Structure 1
Amino acid sequence: AEGVAHRPDPEALKRFYDALPFTLTRAQRRVVADVLSDMAAPRPMHRLVQGDVGSGKTVVAAAAIFNAVCSGCQAAMMAPTEILAEQHAASLQDLLGRLGVRVELLTGRLPARRREALLEGLASGEVHVLVGTHAVLDRQVTFRRLSLAVTDEQHRFGVRQRALLAAKGFSPDVLVMTATPIPRTLALTLYGDLDVSVINEMPPGRRPVRTRWLRPSQRGQAYRFLAEQVARGRQAYVVCPLVEGSEDGGAKAAVDLHRRLVRKLPHLKAGLLHGRMSGAEKQEVMRAFRDGEISVLVATTVVEVGVDVPNATVMLVEDADRFGLAQLHQLRGRVGRGSAESYCLLIAEPTTPEAEQRLRVMEQVHDGLEIAEQDLRLRGPGEIFGTRQHGLPDLRVADPFRDLELLELARREARRLLEADPRLRRPEHAALRRRLARPYADQLRLVMTG
């Protein structure tokens, strides 16, 4: 399908770079160039930007968004949590607002009158950029000319949700960003249907987070270390798989653990954060943690994305074997955001070889793309033309690892064929066209969302 060819304006890009409060890394500049090159083409972009937490993916999205707006179009950015959506909206308003770009935030909690005014602004084109949660997928949300759909932390969304966002425009460019691609997306990258750019350079001063797997018998040692860090003026997270206790085998629950910490270690100044709290309650807890009023934040995976507290140096995860590699990597990314040495402590007694292997991968590997490759090996790439995110592939003979060279050859040949005959109209391609059109018409639309 034909999309919008966004022609980069050198003068506008210079204004964008001059407005940044920091200098881009070489990797960021390379990835911005990849994205802008894609956007200049008439065919829609389908690009994955992978970069570890803190590597600077958001500024890449900001450059793409500014480029779309300078072309007389609109952009949308979808984030999985209100905390992250609010963070992105504030960052984009601060950066792009001074360049004349109107950025608005849409969440489920927006009052009716403000929501109505925002929707009118979108439909008329007065609002250039919409940032939001799943609320942006609502049928009432319509754009005058949406040409760029950005999804952040894309492993948190289903395939159909990403497709719904893209459907808000007419063949818009699609940019997905993550610190750890879900297996299905990495499989599509291997098959060549999704272009990938990697931000493989961290800003100056960042150190790798030291990660250690501990048995439950070493729990006391872990909490003593945490208390030592707090005594030095640092802060820490403690993450549990459950909100409250249940009968599922004794997994740690955040509410129960917070109660015990407050009773036994009151000097730690522990706070509690989980998804059942109201938006206002969550915001107040996060503010207190950012301001240092809370030293230890006991939470569920609600802190997985969108939390940036550079003074936090310890991430302690209870029952770590209950989390996937993508979640564990994201949780680890909450620390190590300052210049101080940071630590990730994984407490677990795994009951399966796969769970044990995940913990060993976390100890040994820090690169997000390599973690995703390990996840792909452990879980499988999922259905290539479906919404299932992991599991064994529906290929009968091919193996994406053993046959990588063959897959790359097939990708090159497929691209050569499509460049010569984009719609497969030639007589010699009639059988291939029929083979793709009958069973895969709907699924092909899903593939192109990433």
Structure 2
Amino acid sequence: MEDAIEQLALPQPEIVTPTSTAAIPSSSPPDWVRLQKALAVEAEHGFNDLVGKQSRFSEFLAQSLQQAPEILPSRDRSRWQEMAGQFTNYSDLSFAQRQHLVADTRRFLYQVRQTCERTNQSSGAENGLAALEPKPKPPKTAPLAESQRAISPDEPLTYLPGIGPKNAERLAKLGLYTVRDLLFYYPRDHIDYARQVQIRDLEAGETVTLVGTVKRCTCFNSPRNAKLTIFELVVRDRSGQIKLSRFFAGNRYRNRGWQEQQKRLYPPGVVIAASGLVKQSKYGMTLEDPEIEVLDHSGSSIESVIVGRVVPIYSLTEGVGADLVRKAVIAALPAATRLDDPLPEPLQKQYELTGLAEAIAHIHFPPDSAALDMARRRLVFDEFFYLQLGLLKRRQSQRQTQASAILAPTGQLIDQLYELLPFQLTGAQQRVINDILNDLQQPAPMNRLVQGDVGSGKTVVAVVAVLAAIQAGYQAALMAPTEVLAEQHYRKLVSWFNLMHLPVELLTGSTKTAKRRQIHAQLQTGELPLLVGTHALIEDPVTFQRLGLVVIDEQHRFGVQQRARLQQKGVNGIPHVLTMTATPIPRTLALTLHGDLDVSQIDELPPGRKPIQTTALTASDRTQAYELIRRQVAQGRQVYVVLPLVDESEKLDLKSAIEEHQRLQEQIFPEFQIGLLHGRMTSAEKEEAINQFRDNQTQILVSTTVVEVGVDVPNATVMLIEHAERFGLSQLHQLRGRVGRGADQAFCLLMSSSKAETARQRLKVLEQSQDGFFISEMDMRFRGPGEVLGTRQSGLPDFALASLVEDQAVLEVAREAAEKAIAKDATLDRWPLMQAELEYRYQRLMGGAIFT
């Protein structure tokens, strides 16, 4: 097997840049491939001046462009130096200016490269300015015609037969500059034109494709819904006429410029293909949310490359038609055979993967659906495989880092805790504790994530780890995302630690200056073994004498840099890190986000917990909901009412916390005391509201989602969630976990105003299940992984094809393959092609920098 693998070790372009930032001498050839990849990665990730291991994108470009090739004409040399200066000031440019600069630089570099190559070939000089890829020697006879010459994947698109400079400029609007760019510009969908039907033959319930001519195109704002924009096409063929509609929600679509642009894309007379599910409307047959594609120019016949086969549908932009992209792809496909396949043949055979060249050809123009499935599986495998390789290599690197703290698994403090606990640990808790204590005995720092449902007992597990550090003579830190949660942890820890005569302090943004100085001093002398806090823990004055363990609760609410800064507070080596989350995520997400961590799951709740009775309600059920609340409060119980907003919103017809608090107090429950809690209150106001509710001075607490974590009142038995359809399933499950923490039967009422079937199906999941892992899996299927995690800071890699919902089986296989490769050779030195591909793909997927 090794021989077969090593035979694939063909030369690869250098990807990792030098560690030195010294000026590039003029005699050195520009690394065209690496420069273009750096520009491509920056464009793909929003022109944010990405930060690499050694420099920023702008620094790398400014340094790389410092010395222009001497072979260039003076005009091009001046332009080269001008661009270097522009990248020096890149941080001061607007988004649009950055966008134009990156695009202009890509075009300019390709033009310059062609100049250098032609000059070098004509002169026969070997001065290092030839392209990175070896060029075939020119034949002694007349040169090959453009259509006969073998095209290299890294050549500019202008070299493709039938493309030329003008079309190459149009394709550059899509970020396509090289043949390789085009080959890996995957279709967003495919249409099977072999299954065409005429308009008169449409039958409801079928998925079909129809081809016709646009008779009329309109795009306008809905007169009934201010946030809705309606796009309509009237299409006809020889058999009849049909109206197709698409709906766009959001202010950006109300812009007249955008609407006019849509109309320009589909002028009367243009031939289009529309694909979708046929349904009966009050206007007759139509296609539900159709995929629409312009096939050719107005009045032209459909090209044979489209008719009767599976046709790729590409993402387009104004001025770049589908016909041009397909034409360019067809011209580029022969170059796919010159792509080096980084996956060893034995690995391809073991996992039944098609070759790279065949996969690229068939993802664009598959002969049938089976070939398309095989092509997609191979390319999805590649995306997952290199991500997992990168994560596993990162974990390998972490394990090779020596930690100063080797902690004993047993000791007096841990034994004392077990004696103090008024309950027995569950089997799941004990299993996870064993995982942690085993990690703490290793010389490499622990990096473990503990997932556990609401109420599964993660805090006790973390306390065992903390005591293991303290009894070994080290300090520990516990960081939570909110003051409410940090204070809850502090109260629980104080109740245990006081009995063991161990000091513990709380540090938040509200901590007084004198107390803060006292805590800083005690940390530096080692008097304080445990500090609980919020982001205040990572402020510069906080310094530990011997930090041995870092515990981070609700870790998904912290950024990577924040977690790393707390870990760096240890001055005597790298501390162990234990992260926890009460928001279980599906295994596919865990592998994607935390593939470099060891993951433990507390998948068992303490005995005696009664399932929370969960019911989805509509407005007509509100009276019954209020009667249940009234009965529960009369019996001495307490109630949460949760709303999605703080103040009344003019844009959304939602109840606000402030308005609802006033309404409930004055009109619905005047006989009860009702409290208010929301994120805009000061820390002191929040603490007072929580304490009043905890002490039963207020029987009903109206709150926003600030109550999601950190409020622990066992006497609360009812949670009413208004506008439940506005929340994700995992968040609803988190909120539901605030009740049912005592021995009494608890109720969760999901009030929804939505009539959508999808909304009802989502809430039904919560009615039927109490399993947080199952609920998170269903949440991901309904909303997608980005929405489940929060798109703004999800940390999800940017896949071109792979779907964490649809491709879970491929991810599992890719993980297995990556683990085997790392076990065989953690350096990947025996597979240089795979190693080089990893450098590029992993950095691209994770938003990293190819310019480091």
Give the TM interval when normalised to the shorter protein: 0.7 to 0.9
**Residues 1:10 and 2:410 aligned together:** yes
- Kindly state the Cα deviation for residue 390 of structure 1 after the two structures are TM-superposed: 4.5
Native 8 Å contact 2:593 2:796 kept in 1:
no
Q: What are the Cα deviations for residues 203-238 of structure 1, in whole angstroms up to 9, with x where unaligned?
A: 232111111111123222211221122122211111
Q: What are the Cα deviations for residues 147-198 of structure 1, in whole angstroms up to 9, with x where unaligned?
A: 3222212343344433433343454332222221357993436874333222
- Kindly state the Cα deviation for residue 406 of structure 1 after the two structures are TM-superposed: 4.2
Find 1:114's aligned residue among 485, 492, 515. Answer: 515
1:28-427 mapped onto 2 (5 Å cutoff)? 28-99=429-500, 101-169=502-570, 170-181=573-584, 186-188=589-591, 192-264=595-667, 265-350=669-754, 355-382=759-786, 389-390=793-794, 394-419=798-823, 421-422=825-826, 424=827, 427=829
Rounded to whole Å, the distance in 2 between the matches of 1:35 and 1:201 is: 17
- Kindly state the Cα deviation for residue 29 of structure 1 after the two structures are TM-superposed: 1.0
Structure 1's 3 and 363: CA in aligned 2 closer, same or farther, altered over 3 A?
Answer: farther
Q: Which moved more, 1:187-196 or 1:73-82?
A: 187-196
Q: Which moved more, 1:86-95 or 1:157-166?
A: 157-166
Structure 1's 395 and 439: CA in aligned 2 closer, same or farther, altered over 3 A?
Answer: closer
Rounded to whole Å, the distance in 2 between the matches of 1:432 and 1:387 is: 31
Higher relative contact order (Cα pairs below 8 Å, separated by 6+ residues): 1
**Residues 1:20 and 2:421 aligned together:** yes
Rounded to whole Å, the distance in 2 between the matches of 1:434 and 1:122 is: 45
Native 8 Å contact 2:409 2:440 kept in 1:
no
- Kindly state the Cα deviation for residue 63 of structure 1 after the two structures are TM-superposed: 0.6
Rounded to whole Å, the distance in 2 between the matches of 1:112 and 1:304 is: 29
The one-letter code sitting in structure 1 at the alignment partner of 2:829 is P
Native 8 Å contact 1:227 1:268 kept in 2:
no
- Kindly state the Cα deviation for residue 410 of structure 1 after the two structures are TM-superposed: 3.4
Native 8 Å contact 2:449 2:598 kept in 1:
yes
Rounded to whole Å, the distance in 2 between the matches of 1:444 and 1:16 is: 42
- Kindly state the Cα deviation for residue 242 of structure 1 after the two structures are TM-superposed: 1.4
Name the count of aligned residue pairs: 442
- Kindly state the Cα deviation for residue 311 of structure 1 after the two structures are TM-superposed: 1.4
SS at match of 1:10: coil
Rounded to whole Å, the distance in 1 between the matches of 2:845 and 2:530 is: 29
Rounded to whole Å, the distance in 1 between the matches of 2:813 and 2:422 is: 43
Native 8 Å contact 1:273 1:298 kept in 2:
yes
Structure 2, unmatched stretches of 5+, are 1-397
The one-letter code sitting in structure 2 at the alignment partner of 1:428 is R
The one-letter code sitting in structure 2 at the alignment partner of 1:172 is P
Structure 1's 267 and 376: CA in aligned 2 closer, same or farther, altered over 3 A?
Answer: same
Q: What are the Cα deviations for residues 270-325 of structure 1, in whole angstroms up to 9, with x where unaligned?
A: 12122222222222222221222211111111211111111111000111122222
- Kindly state the Cα deviation for residue 114 of structure 1 after the two structures are TM-superposed: 1.4
Q: What are the Cα deviations for residues 415-446 of structure 1, in whole angstroms up to 9, with x where unaligned?
A: 34434544x1x631445444445675799899
Structure 1's 397 and 254: CA in aligned 2 closer, same or farther, altered over 3 A?
Answer: closer
- Kindly state the Cα deviation for residue 9 of structure 1 after the two structures are TM-superposed: 4.1
Rounded to whole Å, the distance in 1 between the matches of 2:586 and 2:479 is: 20
The one-letter code sitting in structure 2 at the alignment partner of 1:174 is V
The one-letter code sitting in structure 1 at the alignment partner of 2:767 is E
Rounded to whole Å, the distance in 2 between the matches of 1:396 and 1:305 is: 35
TM-score (ref. length: structure 2):
0.48
Rounded to whole Å, the distance in 2 between the matches of 1:285 and 1:334 is: 16
Structure 1's 418 and 180: CA in aligned 2 closer, same or farther, altered over 3 A?
Answer: same
Q: Percent identity?
A: 53
The one-letter code sitting in structure 2 at the alignment partner of 1:109 is S
Q: What are the Cα deviations for residues 97-119 of structure 1, in whole angstroms up to 9, with x where unaligned?
A: 44454322100011112112212
Structure 1's 392 and 10: CA in aligned 2 closer, same or farther, altered over 3 A?
Answer: closer
Pairwise CA RMSD of aligned residues?
3.1
Greater C-alpha Rg: 2
- Kindly state the Cα deviation for residue 411 of structure 1 after the two structures are TM-superposed: 2.8
- Kindly state the Cα deviation for residue 61 of structure 1 after the two structures are TM-superposed: 0.5
Rounded to whole Å, the distance in 2 between the matches of 1:115 and 1:72 is: 23
Structure 1's 445 and 420: CA in aligned 2 closer, same or farther, altered over 3 A?
Answer: farther
Q: Which moved more, 1:198-207 or 1:155-164?
A: 155-164
Q: Which moved more, 1:223-232 or 1:333-342?
A: 223-232
